[in-house]
Protein backbone atom coordinates (compact mmCIF):
# COMPACT_ATOMS: atom_id res chain seq x y z
CA UNK A 1 0.00 0.00 0.00
CA UNK A 2 1.25 3.48 -0.78
CA UNK A 3 1.07 5.66 2.36
CA UNK A 4 -0.20 9.25 2.21
CA UNK A 5 3.27 10.83 2.39
CA UNK A 6 4.36 8.85 -0.65
CA UNK A 7 1.13 9.71 -2.49
CA UNK A 8 1.85 13.41 -2.07
CA UNK A 9 5.52 13.02 -3.07
CA UNK A 10 4.31 11.19 -6.20
CA UNK A 11 1.86 13.98 -6.99
CA UNK A 12 4.41 16.75 -6.41
CA UNK A 13 6.81 14.93 -8.74
CA UNK A 14 4.25 15.20 -11.53
CA UNK A 15 4.57 19.00 -11.30
CA UNK A 16 8.31 19.36 -10.78
CA UNK A 17 9.93 16.27 -12.26
CA UNK A 18 11.57 15.96 -15.65
CA UNK A 19 9.66 14.81 -18.72
CA UNK A 20 11.28 11.38 -18.32
CA UNK A 21 10.21 11.22 -14.68
CA UNK A 22 6.65 12.14 -15.65
CA UNK A 23 6.53 9.58 -18.44
CA UNK A 24 7.54 6.82 -16.04
CA UNK A 25 4.68 7.65 -13.66
CA UNK A 26 1.83 7.83 -16.17
CA UNK A 27 -0.04 4.82 -17.54
CA UNK A 28 -0.16 4.56 -21.33
CA UNK A 29 -3.99 4.57 -21.14
CA UNK A 30 -4.21 7.63 -18.89
CA UNK A 31 -6.87 10.32 -19.44
CA UNK A 32 -5.92 13.91 -18.62
CA UNK A 33 -7.95 17.12 -18.78
CA UNK A 34 -5.67 20.15 -19.19
CA UNK A 35 -6.66 23.80 -19.60
CA UNK A 36 -4.14 24.48 -22.44
CA UNK A 37 -6.59 24.72 -24.23
CA UNK A 38 -9.20 22.78 -22.32
CA UNK A 39 -8.86 19.38 -23.92
CA UNK A 40 -9.01 15.74 -22.99
CA UNK A 41 -5.75 13.94 -23.76
CA UNK A 42 -5.25 10.21 -23.66
CA UNK A 43 -2.30 7.87 -23.61
CA UNK A 44 0.75 9.12 -25.47
CA UNK A 45 -0.99 12.46 -26.23
CA UNK A 46 -1.26 13.12 -22.51
CA UNK A 47 2.37 12.24 -21.85
CA UNK A 48 3.53 14.38 -24.78
CA UNK A 49 1.33 17.35 -23.77
CA UNK A 50 2.73 17.48 -20.26
CA UNK A 51 6.29 16.57 -21.22
CA UNK A 52 6.43 19.51 -23.63
CA UNK A 53 5.46 22.10 -20.98
CA UNK A 54 8.06 23.74 -18.73
CA UNK A 55 8.26 22.18 -15.27
CA UNK A 56 7.29 24.18 -12.18
CA UNK A 57 10.11 25.09 -9.80
CA UNK A 58 7.97 25.51 -6.68
CA UNK A 59 4.66 23.90 -5.77
CA UNK A 60 2.52 24.08 -2.65
CA UNK A 61 -0.23 21.50 -2.23
CA UNK A 62 -3.00 22.27 0.28
CA UNK A 63 -6.38 20.85 1.19
CA UNK A 64 -5.18 17.35 0.31
CA UNK A 65 -7.79 14.62 0.38
CA UNK A 66 -7.13 10.95 -0.26
CA UNK A 67 -9.61 8.14 -0.93
CA UNK A 68 -8.95 4.45 -1.40
CA UNK A 69 -12.17 3.12 -2.94
CA UNK A 70 -10.71 -0.31 -3.72
CA UNK A 71 -7.54 -2.33 -3.23
CA UNK A 72 -4.91 -0.96 -5.60
CA UNK A 73 -6.76 2.29 -6.36
CA UNK A 74 -6.04 5.76 -4.89
CA UNK A 75 -7.92 8.98 -5.68
CA UNK A 76 -6.59 12.38 -4.57
CA UNK A 77 -7.92 15.93 -4.69
CA UNK A 78 -6.16 19.13 -3.67
CA UNK A 79 -5.39 22.79 -4.34
CA UNK A 80 -2.09 23.58 -6.11
CA UNK A 81 -0.13 26.85 -6.14
CA UNK A 82 2.77 26.52 -8.58
CA UNK A 83 5.39 28.97 -9.79
CA UNK A 84 8.37 29.28 -12.11
CA UNK A 85 10.25 32.50 -12.78
CA UNK A 86 7.54 35.22 -12.81
CA UNK A 87 4.69 32.84 -13.68
CA UNK A 88 2.15 31.67 -11.10
CA UNK A 89 -0.58 29.05 -11.49
CA UNK A 90 -3.32 28.00 -9.07
CA UNK A 91 -5.84 25.23 -9.61
CA UNK A 92 -7.89 22.45 -8.12
CA UNK A 93 -6.64 19.05 -9.14
CA UNK A 94 -7.69 15.41 -9.01
CA UNK A 95 -5.61 12.34 -9.79
CA UNK A 96 -6.24 8.62 -9.74
CA UNK A 97 -3.51 6.00 -9.32
CA UNK A 98 -3.66 2.30 -10.05
CA UNK A 99 -1.28 -0.29 -8.62
CA UNK A 100 0.18 -2.46 -11.37
CA UNK A 101 2.35 -4.62 -9.12
CA UNK A 102 3.86 -4.46 -5.65
CA UNK A 103 5.17 -0.90 -5.15
CA UNK A 104 4.48 -0.03 -8.82
CA UNK A 105 1.88 2.73 -9.15
CA UNK A 106 0.91 4.73 -12.21
CA UNK A 107 -1.43 7.65 -12.82
CA UNK A 108 -4.50 6.77 -14.85
CA UNK A 109 -6.46 10.04 -14.52
CA UNK A 110 -5.66 13.72 -13.92
CA UNK A 111 -7.87 16.79 -14.14
CA UNK A 112 -7.13 20.48 -13.51
CA UNK A 113 -9.51 23.37 -12.91
CA UNK A 114 -7.55 26.66 -13.01
CA UNK A 115 -8.41 29.36 -10.46
CA UNK A 116 -7.64 33.08 -10.46
CA UNK A 117 -4.11 33.67 -9.15
In this predicted structure, what is the pLDDT of residue 71?
92
Minimum mean pLDDT range among 18-27, 71-80, 87-96: 18-27
Q: Which domains does the chain have, with CATH numbers?
A: 4-115 (3.10.450.50)
3-class DSSP string for the chain: CCCHHHHHHHHHHHHHCCHHHHHHHEEEEEEEEEECCEEEEEHHHHHHHHHCCCCCCEEEEEEEEEEEEECCEEEEEEEEEEEECCEEEEEEEEEEEEEEECCEEEEEEEEEEEECC
Distance (Å, whole) CA 44 – CA 37? 17
Confidence label for 77 from pLDDT (cuts 50, 70 and 90): very high
Contact 105, 72 (CB under 8 A): no
What would the pLDDT profile of 7-52 be if each residue is shown by its tens digit?
Answer: 999 899 889 988 788 788 888 888 888 887 668 888 788 777 777 7
In this predicted structure, what is the pLDDT of residue 117?
60
What would the pLDDT profile of 40-66 be if each residue is shown by its tens digit?
Answer: 888 788 777 777 778 899 999 999 999
In this predicted structure, what is the pLDDT of residue 38?
65
Amino acid sequence: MMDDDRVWEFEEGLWTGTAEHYQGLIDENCLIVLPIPSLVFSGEQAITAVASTPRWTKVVLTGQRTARPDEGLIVVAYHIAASRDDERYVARRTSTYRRRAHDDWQGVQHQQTPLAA
